[in-house]
Structure 1
Amino acid sequence: MSKKIKKCLPSNELLEDLCIRFVLNAPEEDQQSFERILFLVECAYWYYEDSVVENDPRLMSLPFKGFTCLLFKSCEMLRPYLAHIDDIFRDFSSYKSRVPVAGAIILDETYERCLLVKGWKKSSTWSFPRGKKGKDEEDYGCAVREVLEETGFDVSELLKKEEYIEITFRGEQSVRLYVVAGVKDDTAFAPLTKKEISQIAWHPLDRLDDGVTGLKLYMVAPFLASLKSWISKHPSPVARRLDKPIKAICVWNAKKATTTERSYNKKASKQSLKFNTLALLPAKESCSSA
C-alpha cells in the first residue's frame, strides 16, 4: 500500500517568487489599486494551482483567499496591508461584479437546443459560456476567447457582431451574449482551462422554459424570452424534430474525461488577459439584430 503524502503549505521562497513574477513585475499602472493588484494575485493563484501543485503532490491546494493571505504575508510590498485583507476582498468582489461580460448562446442546427456549461464547484450554476472582458478588449473578442476556453470550440467564423442579446444585471453588470446558430450537436467540446468547467451539455430550450428539476438556471432564464424572439425572426434551415421529444445531451464531463481530453492550456494565460478591465459600459437590456 502506498504511503499517504503529507500536504504542506507553499514555502515563503515560492510565494516570494510568485509575487515577484506576477505582481511586482507587472506594469506600474496595474499596481495602483487593490482591485488591480488582486487580479494579478488571482493570476499567481491559478498558476500555483494548475502548474505548481500539479507538479508537486506535497503542496496543498488552497482557496483563493487563503493563498492571498499567504502571499500578502510573504511579500514585503503587500505585508503592511494584510490586516485589511477582509476589506480588500470585499471591494474586489464588488469590483468584479461590475466588470462587463461577453459570451455566446450556441444553438444546434434545428435551434431547439442550446449549449450550456456548468462551473467546477458543487454550488455552480449552469450558464451560457461567457466571461469577463479584459482591458481594451472588444465584446466579440471576449466572447470568442471565453467560448474557446470554456468549450474548446472556436466561434470566430460563425459569430456575427450584430446578433446579440444584452442584459444589465442589478443595474451594474452588462452581459452581452452573441447568438451563434447552426452548430452540429455531434461537435466535440472540451474546455481548455482547468478546474473551471465540470460539464458541457446540449439542453432543449423548451425544457429550460419550464424549469428542469435540479438545474440552476439563474444566468440562463433572463435571456430566454429574447432568444425565442430572435429564433422566431430567424427560422432554422433545418427541420425541427417533431416526431419525438428532444432530450439533454451531455457532451463533456470532467469526471469521465480521458487523459487526452485533459490536455488543458494553462489558466494563468487566461488570467493574464484579465489583469485590468474596461470601464463599465452603460447598457440597457436589448436584443440587436441586423
Structure 2
Amino acid sequence: MGLDFGAVLKEWRSARRISQLDLGLSAGVSSRHISFLETGRSRPSRGMVLRLCDELDVPIAQRNRMLTAAVLSPAYAERDLSGEDMAPMRAAMAWTLARHDPYPAMAIDRHWRLVKANKTCAAIMQGFGVREGDSLIDLMTDNPVLRTALENYDEVAMHMLARLRVEAAHFGHDPVLEDAIARYEDIVGDAGKAVDGIRPAIIPAVYDFGGMRLTLFSTISQFGSAEDIALSELRIEMMFPADEETRVAREMLGAG
C-alpha cells in the first residue's frame, strides 16, 4: 500500500507542532483546506506540496516522499558524489579538508558515516580502526579503543545524544538515527537529566593518545542552497584546539 499524502502532511505538521490554522496562514490557504488535504478530500498541486514543505522546513529527501505520496513526480535527485557534475563540490570539500591540517577535519553524511577525512583525521581514525564508509555512531558506542582514549567519554556521549535528537527531529522518521538515539540513551542513562549551573560555551573532546593530550572542539559546515539530496546531507566537521597545549602539539606535528 502506497503512502497517503494526508497522513504524511499531518505527520510533519505534528512534528513541527504547528496547527492547521497556523500552517494555513503561513501557506496562504485556509485551515479548512489543510484539513481537507489531511483527510484526503482535496488533492494538492505540485506547487502546494512544495509550499507546505517550505513552511514545515521539510528536508529535501522527505519532500520527494511527500510528492510521491501526492502521486506527483519527485523534485530532487540524489547524485553520486563521484559523478562528473559533482566535481566542483568534491574539489571544494577536498580544499577545505586539506587546508585544515594539522587539525582534524572530515566529511560525514546524515547517518554519521565517514565520507572523507584530511590527513590528520585519517591518521587518528586509523588508530581506531575506522575507514571511509564506517559509522562514527558505531565508533562512539562500540569501539573500546576510543573509550580508553576519550577522557570525557560520558560528557561527549551526552552531547552526541543531544545532536542526534535535533537531527532526528529535522529529518523526520529515520530508523538509523532513532536506533542511535536509543543506544546513546542506554549509555547516558539518567546522567543528562539534571544539569546544575551554567553550561560551558563548548563541549570539547579530550583525548589521551599515549601521553599526548589533545582537547578539541568542532564546527560544522554544509553546502548552501543544495538542491541534491546527498549534497544537502553532507556535513564538514572541522576540529580546533580548545587549549594552548593542543595547538602547540598539533602545529609541531604538522611542521614535522
Structure having the higher strand fraction is 1
Q: Which of structures 1 and 2 has the larger relative contact order (alpha carbons within 8 angstroms, sep 6+)?
A: 1
TM-score of the two chains, using structure 2 as the length reference? 0.26
TM-score, length basis structure 1: 0.24
Q: In proportion to residue count, which structure has more helix? A: 2
